[in-house]
Amino acid sequence: MTSPADASRGGRGRIGVLVVDDSASVRAVLRRFFSWTDDIRVVGEADEGAEAVREAVRLAPDVILMDLMMPGMDGYAAIAEIMRRRPTPILVLSTKANRDQVQTAFEALRRGALEVLPKPEDAEAWRHLATTLPEVVRSVAGRLPGVEAGGGAGRGGGPAAAHRPAGAARAGSRLAARPARADRVDETGDAGEQPWAGELRWIAIGASTGGPSAVCDLLAALPARPPVSVLVVQHISPGFELGLVDWLSGELDLDVRLARDGEAPPPGAVRLAPPDRHLRLDPQGVLRLDRRTPPWRGHRPSVDELFFSCVRHAAERTAGVLLTGMGTDGVQGLVQLAAAGALTVVQDEATSVVYGMPRAAAARGAARRELPPPEIGRYLARHFPRTPARR
């Protein structure tokens, strides 16, 4: 019998979660978190990787919460095996005790996980996780209002059928590139857009849930020694930013670092916003970090704040890119960039873990193109200047 709660969700039923952790107390706490919701339930538990693989196949959960360090088969091997046997959205809960552990946690993204979340280290952090974790689970399961996960969850195929492993685009898959409009052909041969007359110097990228792999796929598609600088605002839990920098540096042949106040990044540099600071570009092409301005719509750093600064100082030399993520951070900024003459692109629905931010921007006409991340990289490269970049 369908419960009233299930009926209110169109009969799709509650989101089933498999919890994998070698600590019985951690599993009990996570189980209690979800017992406080009416739309998420724990359908199974496992205390090591091999059991997690068996339960993933047997129970067909909508989402898996995965620990990494476990006896026997660890979480890394379990993620890879689950993605081979029954692809499922996987969220990693990882300690951030030191930088090496955080960097290693991002290896889970290469194996197929969607997101790395911090395992709480004190009571306050556990209370915060109790509030935020259900929303993240809903987002990757495609159950947030107006959000689809993996380009199809909740539309008949189910999360397992819809989910694509992170990094699949790098492995060679090719998805259709969909132009935002279909009335013109520009000088690159792309249908559906007016020729862009700017001179690209900056790529400004915003991303949230599922963003690390999307950012990596985009940057991996750029040519060696690109004549532009890349600025990235990635919503990520504090304490994981250096691990993300280390992971991207290992995956890419690019100069990837956290942004520093007063730095003028050279062409080829990739700079990520540090935690709790807005990242802005000033008129001289110098980076400014700001922790005095309050969070914008709940975010500091905010994608919108980065985009607004590019509108003011470098619109016709900027490509604004909005990747996978829930919410609307970056949408208003991308609208303003498009109006000011910037080159604007969003990630397509088929490859977005959460098609929230890109969907909202596309709905407001802010994107010239909707593309998978590797295609975004190649598309932007076609607009690189043929002469050395100027600041």
109 band by pLDDT with thresholds 50, 70 and 90 = confident
Domain-embedded: residue 170: no
Domain-embedded: residue 389: no
Same structural domain for residues 47 and 147? Answer: yes
Say whether pLDDT at 148 is over 90.
no
Cis peptide before 301 (omega within 30 of 0): yes
User: Residue 189: what pLDDT?
Assistant: 46
d(CA 264, CA 257): 13
Domain-embedded: residue 171: no
Task: Tell me which of 134, 162, 190 is where a domain ends.
Answer: 162
Catalytic site residue 39? no
Same structural domain for residues 126 and 237? Answer: no
Domain-embedded: residue 275: yes
Domain-embedded: residue 333: yes
Domain-embedded: residue 386: no
User: Residue 118: what pLDDT?
Assistant: 86
Catalytic site residue 309? no
Q: Catalytic: which of 208, 229, 302, 352?
A: 208
CATH number, residue 154:
3.40.50.2300
Q: Catalytic: which of 21, 217, 235, 237?
A: 235
Domain-embedded: residue 391: no
Same structural domain for residues 257 and 322? Answer: yes
Task: Tell me which of 162, 194, 214 is where a domain ends.
Answer: 162
DSSP string for 205-226 = EEE-TTHHHHHHHHHHTSPSS-
Same structural domain for residues 241 and 374? Answer: yes
Same structural domain for residues 98 and 182? Answer: no
176 band by pLDDT with thresholds 50, 70 and 90 = very low
Asked whether the beta carbons of 151 and 350 are under 8 A apart, the reply is yes
Mean pLDDT of 173-189: 36
Same structural domain for residues 272 and 125? Answer: no
Mean pLDDT of 152-167: 37
Same structural domain for residues 242 and 363? Answer: yes
Instruction: Give percent of the chain above pLDDT 90.
Output: 65
Say whether pLDDT at 216 is over 90.
yes
Mean per-residue pLDDT over the chain, rounded: 84
DSSP tag of 72: S
CATH number, residue 201:
3.40.50.180
Same structural domain for residues 158 and 202? Answer: no
Say whether pLDDT at 123 is over 60.
yes
Task: Count structural domains, the chain.
Answer: 2
In which domain, by residue range, is 353 found? 178-381
Domain-embedded: residue 377: yes
Same structural domain for residues 121 and 215? Answer: no
Catalytic site residue 163? no
Same structural domain for residues 93 and 238? Answer: no
User: Residue 86: what pLDDT?
Assistant: 94
The alpha carbon torsion through 82, 84, 88, 91 (nearest 10 deg) reads 60
Task: Tell me which of 162, 188, 203 is where a domain ends.
Answer: 162
Same structural domain for residues 19 and 95? Answer: yes
Say whether pLDDT at 183 is over 60.
no
How confident is the model over 192-212, as pLDDT tens digits?
Answer: 567 887 789 999 999 998 899
Asked whether the beta carbons of 115 and 87 are under 8 A apart, the reply is no
Q: In what order do the strands lie in the sheet with 255-258?
A: 178-179, 369-371, 343-347, 318-322, 202-207, 229-234, 269-272, 255-258
Rounded to the nearest 5 degrees, what angle is found at the Cα of 255, between the Cα atoms of 220 and 92?
A: 60
User: Residue 157: what pLDDT?
Assistant: 35
Same structural domain for residues 154 and 223? Answer: no
